[in-house]
Structure formats: C-alpha cells, structure tokens
C-alpha cells in the first residue's frame, strides 16, 4: 500500500470527515491585512490568519492549519519510505474535502483538464476547438492562461497532445489534478497548508516555460500564479538596508516579460528580464537566476531584486528583503523555484532606457561554402567572445545541422548602448575573416533609440511544445577563452555535438558579479565566470520506442554533454534551461551555493511540501514513472 506523508491528526479527521457543501454559501477564509509600510498589492492584503480558521470546526480546521512544529521535531519523526498520496489511494481526499478547499478559497479550485481534451472522443469532444488549438499549439502566448499545460510536454509524458485521431487516448499523465487559480495570498496559504497537512503533492505553475517541466506533477495540487498580475511603478524606491534608491517596479508573480517591458518602456525605462517574450519574469525566471539581453551590462535579473513577498512552506506570508528574512531573500534570488515557497511579488530596479543596435544574419554550408570554411568561420567568431561580452554584447546564435549541412544563424547580436558605427566596429573584423573564407551575406544591422524596440524588433518568438526533444546546457567559463589551446578544445567539443547532428543554441554574454553590482545572492556562481551559455538538443524519431528514447537520452547526457563538461570541469549549467537528467545537478545548477541552500531548505521545508525535479533537496525524492522515462507522469516518492 502506498502511504502518504501526513500529520497523524489530519489523517484521523480526514477519514472521519465528510463535508456537505451548501450551494451559494460563502465560507471564504481570509482577512484583509493592510500595512502601508509593506506596499502590498491588493491581492496581498487578502491573507489567511490563524483566527480565520475558527470559522471551521476542529476537524475541518486541521486541514488548513499552519505548521507550528519545529524543523528539528519534524526531521526527527521522518520516515524514509513514504510517497505523496495519489488519486485512487484510500487516503486521497474525498470530493467533499476538495469541495471544502474550493469553498474556503472562494471558488478558486479548478479541476485539471488537458487542453487537448476536445480532440478526443468523449463528452469534451469538439472538432472545431481541436482544429483551433492545433493551429495555435506551438505558440507560447496560446498557453498562457492554461492552468496545467507546460511548454516542454515531454515531461508531462505526452499523454494528451493534439491529434487528428479522436480514438487515441487522453490521460492525465503529469498534469496536476487540481489547481488553485490564485488571485490572492489567502488562497495560496490555504493550498499550501492543505497539501502539507494531507500529504498531497504540491506544485507551482506560472507559465510552464521550464525546460524540464517543473510546473507539472501527476496527482498534484497546483498553485497557478499566472493571474497575479499586479504592476506598480515606484519612482523613488528606498530599499531598506541598502544605500540604493531609484526607480523600481513591483511586479505580481504572474507578470511576463512582454508586459513589464512595455510598462517600463512607457516610462522611458527598462528592466532586466529574459529575451523570451512570454517568460514569467517575476516567477521561475528571477527565482531561478535567469539571463537577459542586458546581462553583459547589468548582470542577472536576480541581481536587481529589492524585495519579495512569499508564502513559505509553513503557510506564513512573509517579506524577504535586505532587512527581513535575509537568508530566504538570498535563496530566492537564484536558488530555484518551487523550493522555498510561493513568491507572490517581486520589486526590481528599473533603469533609464538605452539605445541598442542589433544585427541578424546567417550563412550555411553548400555552394561556395565548404564544411571546413564554415567551421573556420564559426571558430573565428569565438575569438571575439571576450571582447564582445566585455563591451556589453549579448548574442543569440544557432548552429542547425540538417542532413550533413550546417546553418549558422545569428538572431540577434545585441549591442546595448552602441551606435551603428560602434556595432559595426565590433563585428567587422570577424566579417572580414568570413569574407576571406568565401562566406558572404548581408547582415541586417539596425539601430534602435530605445531598448524596448530593439528587443521587440529583433528577437524571435520561440516555438514551443516540441514532442521528441531533450535539451542540456553548459555555462562555459572565461578561462576557456584565455588559453588558446583550451579554447580550441572547447570549440572542438561544441563542434563534435554539431557533427553528431545535435542542435546548438548559444549565447555570448558576461553577467559578472561586478556588472550585477556585487550582489550576495544564490545565482549559480558559474554564471559569473561564463562568457557562453550553450544549449544542445537531441531529437529522436516521432515513432521512437521507449527503449530508443532512453538510449538517445543516455547518449546525449553521458556522451555528448560529457564532452562539454570535460572541457569545463567545475563549471555549471543554468537550471531553467537544462537537462532533467543532469548528473551531479547539485554542483551544476547551484555550485558552491548548494550546501547553504540545502540547509535552508531543510530548515524551512522539513515536511517537503515543495519539490521540483533537480530543485534543492530533490535528491531525496523521485517521480516513479511507468515507462521509466523522466517525466512528471507518476507518483512522487522518497528515494531509498
Ligand atoms: C521560449 C522560452 C524562452 C526562454 N527565454 C529565456 C530567457 O531569455 N532567459 C532565461 O533566463 N530563461 C529563458 N527561458 C527559461 C525560463 O525563463 C525558465 O525556465 C524559468 O524558470 C521560467 O519561469 P516561469 O515562471 O515562466 O515558468 P514555470 O515553468 O511555470 O516555472 C519554472 C519553475 O519555477 C517555479 N515557479 C514559478 N513561479 C513561481 C513562484 N511565484 N514561486 C515559486 N516558484 C515558482 C515553478 O514551480 C517551476 O519549478 C526560456 C524558456 C522558454 C521555453
Ligand atoms: C465539521 O463541519 C463539516 C462541514 O464543513 C461537517 O461535515 C462535519 O461533520 C463537521 N465535523 C464535526 C466533527 O463536527
Ligand atoms: C508592517 O510592516 C512593517 C515593516 O515590515 C513591520 O515592521 C510592522 O510590524 C508591520 N505591521 C503590522 C501591523 O504587521
Ligand atoms: C482564473 O482566474 C482568472 C481571474 O479571475 C479568470 O479570468 C480565469 O478564467 C480563471 N481560470 C480558470 C481556468 O478558471
Ligand atoms: C551608455 O553610454 C553612455 C555614453 O557612452 C554612458 O555614459 C552610459 O553610462 C552608458 N549606459 C550604460 C547603462 O551602460
Ligand atoms: C531589419 O531588421 C529590422 C529590425 O528587426 C526590421 O524592421 C527590418 O524589416 C529588417 N530589414 C530587412 C531588410 O529585413
Ligand atoms: C588552435 O587551433 C588553430 C586552428 O583552428 C590552430 O591554428 C592553432 O595552432 C591552435 N592553437 C593551439 C594552441 O593549439
Ligand atoms: C519509425 O518510422 C520509420 C520510417 O519513418 C521506420 O523505418 C522505423 O522502423 C519506425 N520505427 C518504429 C520503432 O516503428
């Protein structure tokens, strides 16, 4: 029998309790807490307080109670063989218990329904809707409002993709079972307390952009943060505990890149965020230490954070800043999402906008361009990585193999705060070398008088929902560029992956500590030394068997990616765009910050309310899937 992680008291009452929900009865549990000095969003003033639970009888109240046990006592009582409770288990909450959760959250509970259900036989079948969603499927904007969909469906388990054959099966796989469609803090507190007290798996979904599908989880209760859209401009923010004052934005956890960039641009400002338009800037992106087209000027987005509001695993709502809950504040700036709590808002620095010049171009083998000259041309580019990134450049380029041919695509090269002439001066020595190799093309190099237009006009909207691909990445350090022989080895390792047919997506940037203002935060230290964030992707055939996928993934992770690790021992990898199977992920994703992060995790979350694959503390747990492939389509159990 599968046993749950629960507090014994909750178990007894759970089995005994049955709830009758009276239609139309209110029953919300929340108080309005105002505190001018906190600057809460309205939705953050709606909080759960211990006294709110008095509206329930004891047996119901215990389901939503805060955790007051010390981490020492919880750790001491810990068993090592438990799994989270799962639909179908005897202990899985009855419908009436879920109805109670819905009632106390004011109707925020949503059943997880795969978006593509309308493509399948059954009551949900709707041919027109199926056709529509199929046409929109690879567009990340389309999935923004969906409470359960993730953009890397491989990790959902691919159990309900769009299809033209309605007789295919559509099952829940790694989709969350229930979702709290959060619009205030009290609902999040109730969800966390409920999951912790009962032993249901909890996940957090913002946009679903994580490359390893960390917003999903079979049989889970999900907290969906997308609708926490607050945005507030603060002209003269004074960050307590620091000298810093200046323009800032407070963003709700659901704010996406395209929204905050527009809001900043409307005031002649810019903020540090990702290149991807739909990324959840205030969610997993900042918490996970994400990179930005402004990283070679301002460092990481996490370096810009001045304050955060967060619901912790015990259900409390806290501020984490330079003067309150400092250790948590340190960890939430780079230590990864779904680990220490649910962030509800983030306040970040804003900067006056700057102009930028971008350049887009490509060349490929074939015609006059031989394989050797193609690679000589690419190799020549690597010689400029230090100069470019030290000058503030962020470049985004691809090497795409296809039937033995190769395409190099720069899309785009971004030179923030540079004129056309300055940008041409950076690029022309390389372009001359390319010309001498017989590689001719006409770059589109365009000057923009503000950063927003440069970003919007130059970055592609990436295609999402790929169904037979896995990605890994490496942060390659500056030291590899400071020694020609090491640079040759680095280049050869990258080229070997291209020769093997893998897709390269890479960035040249230098988000050093100095550029970030020497912050003390949990961003992977490997970022500070990196001048290249390189991603590699392996594709398998659409009809590949499980055994073939496993073999392809093994070879990818342990042969192809190993070459990159071998040339950069001790470096790392960016957790938000990473291989779910990354060996020694603790070192790769967190580096020397790991022991400190793990100690905080054990202290703040002794009951393991939060889990995400490769997150801090995740080594104690495993999602057990039926086919053995890494995905969210299984029960979460303790390891060992
Ligand atoms: C098309 C595309 C473009 C991208 N572009 C960039 C880029 O330019 N720069 C870059 O650095 N990365 C980029 N990424 C990677 C992406 O930023 C990271 O995966 C990031 O973690 C996504 O965060 P999210 O909240 O949007 O997504 P989600 O997948 O919803 O969340 C990611 C993780 O954070 C957790 N989480 C989310 N919100 C919260 C919260 N409020 N509190 C606690 N935990 C939370 C989730 O549980 C999950 O574990 C891109 C990804 C894609 C698919
Ligand atoms: C507590 O209240 C619920 C209604 O929410 C009711 O069904 C249940 O029987 C009550 N339990 C006790 C012990 O009174
Ligand atoms: C309001 O916030 C301030 C600053 O964090 C804090 O010192 C104070 O105790 C809070 N007041 C209440 C009533 O919570
Ligand atoms: C979630 O809440 C938002 C805001 O109230 C609403 O617009 C949206 O339709 C809800 N989503 C679901 C799936 O219920
Ligand atoms: C942009 O360039 C100007 C002029 O060279 C310089 O004064 C300014 O500090 C630069 N801004 C940033 C953000 O680097
Ligand atoms: C060059 O790039 C700019 C900005 O992205 C775009 O507006 C313009 O149409 C492009 N020109 C050509 C010829 O492609
Ligand atoms: C690096 O490789 C180039 C050829 O690409 C070669 O000319 C050069 O000698 C190599 N340098 C070292 C130190 O091996
Ligand atoms: C997959 O399809 C290809 C042809 O498209 C075929 O050669 C191969 O045998 C198929 N593999 C499996 C496992 O069905």
> Residues 537-565, buried b or exposed e (16+ Cβ, 10 A)?
bbbbeeeeeeeebbebbeebbeebbebbb
d(CA 359, CA 458): 8
Q: Does pLDDT of 640 surpass 80?
A: no
Q: Does pLDDT of 346 surpass 90?
A: yes
Q: Kindly state the tokens that stand for 473.
A: 């990445």
Centroid of ligand 2 to alpha carbon of 457 (angstroms): 59
State which H helix or E strand residue 31 sits in. strand 31-32
Assigned CATH class of 1-354+595-640: alpha beta
Q: Count CB neighbours of 453 within 10 A.
A: 16
Q: What's the pLDDT score for residue 69?
A: 79
∠ CA 219-110-468, nearest 5°, is 55
Distances from the Cα of 195 to the Cα of 220, 432, 568, angstroms = 9, 61, 41
Name which residue sits closest to atom 5 of ligand 1, judged by CA: 276
Query: Using omega within 30 degrees of 0 as the cis cutoff, is the peptide bond preceding 586 cis?
Result: no
Q: What is the mean pLDDT of the chain?
A: 94
What fold is seen in the domain 356-592?
Vanillyl-alcohol Oxidase; Chain A, domain 3 (3.40.462)
Name which residue sits closest to atom 13 of ligand 7, judged by CA: 485
Q: Is 17 in the pocket of ligand 2 (CB under 6 A)?
A: yes
Q: Is 457 in the pocket of ligand 6 (CB under 6 A)?
A: yes
Q: What's the pLDDT score for residue 26?
A: 80
Residues with CB under 6 A from ligand 1: 140, 151, 203-211, 214-215, 225, 253, 274-276, 279-280, 283-285, 287-288, 290-291, 337-338, 342-343, 462, 464, 576-577, 612
pLDDT tens digits, residue range 293-332? 999 999 999 999 999 999 999 999 999 999 999 999 999 9
Q: What's the pLDDT score for residue 4?
A: 33
Centroid of ligand 3 to alpha carbon of 172 (angstroms): 44
Q: Which of 223, 204, 196 is nearest to 105 (CA)?
A: 223
Q: Is 62 in the pocket of ligand 2 (CB under 6 A)?
A: no
pLDDT tens digits, residue range 45-90? 999 999 999 999 999 999 999 998 777 666 655 554 599 999 999 9
Name which residue sits closest to atom 2 of ligand 5, judged by CA: 417
State which H helix or E strand residue 264 sits in. helix 257-265
Give SS3 for 637: strand
Average pLDDT for residues 136-144, to the nearest whole number? 97
* 594-599 contact pairs (CB < 8 A, 24+): 596/330, 596/331, 596/522, 597/331, 597/335, 597/336, 597/339, 597/522
Centroid of ligand 8 to alpha carbon of 544 (angstroms): 7
Q: Count CB neighbours of 534 within 10 A.
A: 23
Q: Is 94 in the pocket of ligand 2 (CB under 6 A)?
A: no
State which H helix or E strand residue 134 sits in. helix 127-136
Q: If pLDDT is split at 50, 70 and 90, which confidence band does 545 have?
A: very high
- Are 56 and 62 a contacting pair, CB within 8 Å? no
Q: Is 458 in the pocket of ligand 6 (CB under 6 A)?
A: yes
Q: How long a stretch of residues is the chain? A: 640
Q: Does pLDDT of 622 surpass 70?
A: yes
Burial class (CB in 10 A: 0-12, 13-18, 19+), 626: exposed
Rg of the chain on CA atoms, in Å: 25
Q: Is 45 in the pocket of ligand 3 (CB under 6 A)?
A: no
Domain ranges of the chain: 1-354+595-640, 356-592
Name which residue sits closest to atom 13 of ligand 4, judged by CA: 147
Alpha helix stretches (DSSP H) within 361-514:
371-382, 385-390, 420-436, 451-458, 484-499
Q: In what order do the strands lie in the sheet with 444-448?
A: 444-448, 356-364, 405-416, 394-402, 503-508, 530-539, 469-477
Q: What's the pLDDT score for residue 1?
A: 27
Q: Which residues contact 368 (CB under 8 A, 6 or more apart)?
A: 438
Q: What's the pLDDT score for residue 10?
A: 40
Q: What's the pLDDT score for residue 13?
A: 36
Q: Does pLDDT of 486 surpass 70?
A: yes
Centroid of ligand 7 to alpha carbon of 487 (angstroms): 9
Centroid of ligand 3 to alpha carbon of 35 (angstroms): 6
- Are 587 and 571 a contacting pair, CB within 8 Å? no
Average pLDDT for residues 118-126, to the nearest whole number? 97
| pTM for the structure as a whole | 0.95
Q: If pLDDT is split at 50, 70 and 90, which confidence band does 36 have?
A: confident
pLDDT tens digits, residue range 551-601? 999 999 999 999 999 999 999 999 999 999 999 999 999 999 999 999 999
pLDDT tens digits, residue range 400-455? 999 999 999 999 999 999 999 999 999 999 999 999 999 999 999 999 999 999 99
Q: Kindly state the tokens that stand for 300.
A: 């990481």
Q: What's the pLDDT score for residue 76?
A: 58
Q: What's the pLDDT score for residue 79?
A: 52
Residues forming beta bridges with residue 237, ordered by sequence position? 246
Atom of ligand 4 nearest to the CA of 147: 13
Q: What's the pLDDT score for residue 70?
A: 73
d(CA 249, CA 623): 38
């Amino acid at each position: 029998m599968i046993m749950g992680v629960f507090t014994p008291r909750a178990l007894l009452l759970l089995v005994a309790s049955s709830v009758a929900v009276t239609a139309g009865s209110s029953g919300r549990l929340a108080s309005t807490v105002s505190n001018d000095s906190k600057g809460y969003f309205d939705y953050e003033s709606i909080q759960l307080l211990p006294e709110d639970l008095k509206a329930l009888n004891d047996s119901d109240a215990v389901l939503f109670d805060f955790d007051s046990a010390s981490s020492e006592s919880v750790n001491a009582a810990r068993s090592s063989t438990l799994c989270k409770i799962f639909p179908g288990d005897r202990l899985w909450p009855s419908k009436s218990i879920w109805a109670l959760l819905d009632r106390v959250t004011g109707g925020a509970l949503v059943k997880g329904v795969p978006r593509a259900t309308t493509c399948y036989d059954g009551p949900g079948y709707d041919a027109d809707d199926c056709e529509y969603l199929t046409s929109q499927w690879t567009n990340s904007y389309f999935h923004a409002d969906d409470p359960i969909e993730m953009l890397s469906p491989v990790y959902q388990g691919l159990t309900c993709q769009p299809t033209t054959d309605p007789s295919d099966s559509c099952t829940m796989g790694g989709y969350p079972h229930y979702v709290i469609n959060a619009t205030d803090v009290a609902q999040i507190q109730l969800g966390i307390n409920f999951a912790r007290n009962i032993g249901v798996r909890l996940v957090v979904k913002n946009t679903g952009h994580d490359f390893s599908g960390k917003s999903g989880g079979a049989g889970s209760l999900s907290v969906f943060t997308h609708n926490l859209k607050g945005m507030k401009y603060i002209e003269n923010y004074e960050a307590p505990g620091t000298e810093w004052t200046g323009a800032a934005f407070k963003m709700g956890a659901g704010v996406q890149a395209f929204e905050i960039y527009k809001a900043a641009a409307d005031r002649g400002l810019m903020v540090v965020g990702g290149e991807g338009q739909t990324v959840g800037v205030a969610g997993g992106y900042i918490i996970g230490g994400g990179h930005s087209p402004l990283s070679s000027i301002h460092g990481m987005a996490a370096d810009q954070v001045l304050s955060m509001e967060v619901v912790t695993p015990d259900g409390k709502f806290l501020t984490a800043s330079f003067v309150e809950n400092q250790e948590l504040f340190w960890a939430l700036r780079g230590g990864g999402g779904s680990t220490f709590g649910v962030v509800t808002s983030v306040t970040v620095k804003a900067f006056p906008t700057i102009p930028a010049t971008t350049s887009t171009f490509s060349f490929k083998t074939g015609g006059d361009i031989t394989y050797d000259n193609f690679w000589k041309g690419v190799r020549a580019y690597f010689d400029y990585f230090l100069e470019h990134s030290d000058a503030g450049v962020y470049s985004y380029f691809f090497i795409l193999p296809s039937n033995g041919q190769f395409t190099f695509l720069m899309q785009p090269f971004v030179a923030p705060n540079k004129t056309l002439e300055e940008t041409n001066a950076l690029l022309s020595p390389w372009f001359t070398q390319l010309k001498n190799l017989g590689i001719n093309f006409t770059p589109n190099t365009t000057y923009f008088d503000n950063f927003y237009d440069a970003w919007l006009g130059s970055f592609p909207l990436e295609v999402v929902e790929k169904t037979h691909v896995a990605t890994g990445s490496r942060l390659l350090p500056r030291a590899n560029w400071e020694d020609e022989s090491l640079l040759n080895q680095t280049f050869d390792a990258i080229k070997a992956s291209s020769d093997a047919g893998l897709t390269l997506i890479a960035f040249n940037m230098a988000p050093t500590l100095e550029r970030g203002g020497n912050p003390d935060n949990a961003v992977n230290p490997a970022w500070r030394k990196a001048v290249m964030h390189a991603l590699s992707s392996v594709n398998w055939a659409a009809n590949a068997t499980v055994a073939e996928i496993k073999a392809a993934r093994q070879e990818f992770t342990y042969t192809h990616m190993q070459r990159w690790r071998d040339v950069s021992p001790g470096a790392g990898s960016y957790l938000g765009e990473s291989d779910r199977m990354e060996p020694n992920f603790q070192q790769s994703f967190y580096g020397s910050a790991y022991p400190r992060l793990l100690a905080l995790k054990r202290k703040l979350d002794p009951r393991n309310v939060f889990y995400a694959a490769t997150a801090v503390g995740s080594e104690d747990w495993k999602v057990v899937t039926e086919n053995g492939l890494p995905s969210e389509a299984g029960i979460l159990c303790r390891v060992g």
